[in-house]
Each structure stands twice: as C-alpha cells, then as structure tokens.
Structure 1
C-alpha cells in the first residue's frame, strides 16, 4: 500500500475526473466496502475544497470534500526530515 491513515497525499491518477489530478488530500481511513466490493484497496480521503466524485447509485459526477480513492492512485507526501539537534558545522 502507498498510504496509511493520517498521511497527506496527492492524487496522481483520477479516471473520469481529471479535475482531481494533483490535488492534496488527507488519508482518513480504509474503505472496507469499496475494498471488498471492487477487490481494490481504497481510502476515504478528505480535501479542504470539493473534489469531483461519482454517486454510486446514479453514476453521475458530484462534488464532495470526502471521496473514496484507490490506493494506487495516491502518492504520499513525505516531508524533509528536521534535525533540531544536529549541526552542520564541525567543531575543530
């Protein structure tokens, strides 16, 4: 799996909703219903502004701040490590 709950990630693939590409989302939790139904690991992801999603019942596009996204479509954002106690200078 690419992600885990609590990660920030960007959407690297979005079939049918190119508006979502590159959007930054928070990975909230595993979506067991989607995972078992489709056989693909999916996450519930949350964004600050609406993402384009699909209504499961009608298949129509709709906007939501939380959508399901396959793990394969997400790339976690990893930060640069911060070392407060290490110094770049060598004491001679």
Structure 2
C-alpha cells in the first residue's frame, strides 16, 4: 500500500469517527435541553420552543482550581456537559 493510500485510509477513518462523534454530541445536546426529539428532529409538543436563555440564567462565581480541573476532566468536550453537571450537583446539594 502506498503512502498516499495509507493517508487516504487514515483520513476516511478519521472522518467517519468525526461524523459519529458529531451525531453523538448533537443527540446529547438535544437530550440535555429537552427541546428536540433526536429521532424526529421536531419538538416533542406543539408549544413554541424555549430559547436557552429562557431556561437558564448566566451566573458568575469563583470555583477552586482543583474543583474546576475535576469538572473539566469529567465534562470532557461535549457541548453543554459542564452546565448539566453543575446543575445536577447543585440540585442534589440543595434538595
């Protein structure tokens, strides 16, 4: 197999992996914010979709460095994962 063929094969594998990851991220985001049914691509009800800002409020506060490192590690690169983790932790703590 030539270098060109090896490179093309590697790129194809990488592209396939990226597409799968993108689908996973989109499904995770839809599930997290309960706006869309990932299978149908439509809203679960006939009501107007709520905007992100209608459901969430931005808050600024300080977190200890060691805790933020743990949060970053746990959340990974998925969009919205830190928001979900912080909300879940606070909900459990405050309940």
Select the structure with the greater relative contact order (CA < 8 A; seq sep ≥ 6). Answer: 1
TM-score range relative to shorter protein: under 0.3
**With structure 1 as the length reference, what TM-score do the two structures score?**
0.20
Larger Rg: 2
